[in-house]
Amino acid sequence: MAQNIKIEVVTPEKAVVSEDAQIVMAPGILGEFGVLSGHTPFLTTLKVGAVKFVDAQGTDRYVFVSGGFAEALPDRVTILAESAERRRDIDLERAKAALERAEKRLADDRAKAEIDYLRARLALERALQRIRMLSNVQ
């Protein structure tokens, strides 16, 4: 039987996850990556998306992250995220409302001069990823 690794997901405000896992998969800036016990150490930037891990009992778990960094070591994965929330804590209606607001901001030509375009694009991506996480995972 393979050894478990420790996954820790932390934000500036709180520790979101601190558990044992069989495998951790995360959205690296160059593509999704997976880490098992004994993995070669590395450090990478994360993009907005879902971190998936299989807990020690074999259950799939999901955490939304809006960017940050991941450090993989042979016995642990530490994720330092700008913000993070477990799948069960995501409010679908709130995510849909955020998506609608971002789409309106980006579609309004008058507002483009007044808003930070990059900020609106990031808000749109965060909302889309939250909705996808809830829609695609049973």
- Residue ranges of the domains in the chain? 5-87, 91-136
How high is the mean pLDDT of the chain? 87
Q: Can you say how many angstroms the Cα of residue 114 is from the centroid of all Cα atoms in its chain?
A: 29
The CATH number of the structural domain formed by 5-87 is: 2.60.15.10
Contact by Cβ (8 Å): 37, 115: no
Work out whether strand 76-81 and strand 5-10 pair parallel, antiparallel, or are unpaired: parallel
| Token representation of residue 101 | 């607001």
Contact by Cβ (8 Å): 129, 50: yes
Between 97 and 17, name the one with better pLDDT: 17
Taking residues 61-72, what's their average pLDDT? 94
Determine which helix (DSSP H) or strand (DSSP E) holds 86, and give its type and residue range: strand 84-86
The per-residue pLDDT for range 87-137, each reduced to its tens digit, is 888 777 888 888 788 888 777 766 566 667 777 777 878 888 887 877 765
Return the pLDDT at 75. Answer: 96
Taking residues 37-51, what's their average pLDDT? 94
Question: Lowest-pLDDT range, 52-56, 80-84, 102-106, 108-112?
Answer: 108-112
Taking residues 51-71, what's their average pLDDT? 94
Taking residues 52-74, what's their average pLDDT? 94
CATH superfamily of 91-136: ATP synthase delta/epsilon subunit, C-terminal domain (1.20.5.440)
